[in-house]
Structure 1
Amino acid sequence: MPHPPFEPACPVTALPFQIGDKWTALVVLCLEDGPKRFTAIRAVLPNVTAKVLAETLRAMGRDGLVTRAEYDENPPRVEYALTPLGRTLLDLVEAARVWSRAHLPELLANRAANTR
């Protein structure tokens, strides 16, 4: 029997990141210990482009997961921090990390077998 279509209000469709959206989860981990500047986040995530990181932070701000604080200094300083809502994602990210550690060898073997 086929599955019924997802309800328009299905909570899964409103998730702040999709399985495989590595940047949001990694930004959450970067901000776990406190606020950081954009350049500090990029230093920890050197493979993300400035454009993609800016888009990720903007989307996370829109969803209420991070705050953006601007400081009137010379040069101007901007810091990003997890909100209480954003901090609730830490448990979800940790669960994904536990799953990955347990299943990564199998996952990579399947990828290798299916990309030949």
Structure 2
Amino acid sequence: MATTQIPYSALVPNSSLTDPAGTTTVVAPTNNMQISDAFPELTVLRVVNTGIEQDITIKAGAHPPALAAGQGDLVVTVAATTGVQWIGPFESGRFVQADGSMLIEAETVNATITAFKVPRNT
């Protein structure tokens, strides 16, 4: 199955950003979601849950380059119905994959995930 890409919504320094729609978890959990060319330390995920309580899993990276991948996945429970959970920022030494991406799994198809990229400096 194809991997669903989650594009970055870049936060704008000294400005504003219209609330983005996010990426709906289409065929989770058998279909991973991926942030290509990820910057884990600058990444914050907004998860909006529209169904039952579920777990969102940030997959441990590949060693190398993720030297701390042995700490395992990060699993965050998002409340049911209208639950919103903010997750991150992340440690590249734990979550970056060999291709430079980050992988995310959702337990059900009832979530929308938005990846925000925090600017480093203004």
**TM-score, normalised via structure 1 length:** 0.25
Q: Which structure's residues are more often helix, by fraction? A: 1
Q: Which structure's residues are more often strand, by fraction? A: 2
Q: Which has the higher contact order (CA 8 A, sep 6+)?
A: 2
